[in-house]
Amino acid sequence: MRKIIQIAGISVLAIGLAYKSLFGADIDPDLNQNTTITKLKSKIWPIEGYFIHYDKGPYDWAYIVAKSKNLYKLEGMDPRTGYLLWTRLPYREAGLEIVKYEDLVYIGEKVEVGADLR
């Protein structure tokens, strides 16, 4: 009986520790932020893509891959994995183009070189 209680106690402890680490009860936010800052500082990072928040909803985001200019729309989050779900949008097939100019991204009909995108 004592062995069963020991095993049950260890199981409860393991579940408690897993719960705390999964839900952040013992995670120090300052430590996490400092670790991230340390990994990011003093390095050069290539721009991999551009996020566009095109409306007010939480999933009204689009992502443009910098090199291929593929366009994706955020659909939501997979409840099992927590990964974001994206759908590729066939903008080329619709006769549209993506143009990046300074701090702007234009998605639409072809534009003339030098056209004002604002």
Q: Alpha-carbon distance 98 to 47, whole Å?
A: 16
- 75 close to 86: Cβ distance less than 8 angstroms: yes
User: What mean pLDDT value characterizes the chain?
Assistant: 77
- 63 close to 51: Cβ distance less than 8 angstroms: yes
For 6-22, the pLDDT digits (tens) are 343 343 333 444 444 44
Higher per-residue confidence, 90 vs 27: 90
pLDDT at 47: 87
pLDDT at 26: 54
Task: Say how many C-beta atoms besides its own lie within 10 A of residue 52's C-beta.
Answer: 14
Q: What is the DSSP letter of 91?
A: T
Whether pLDDT at 34 is above 60: yes
For 61-93, the pLDDT digits (tens) are 999 999 889 999 999 999 999 999 999 999 999
Q: What is the DSSP letter of 6?
A: H
Q: Lowest-pLDDT range, 2-6, 21-25, 55-59, 110-114? A: 2-6
User: Which H or E run includes 16?
Assistant: helix 2-23
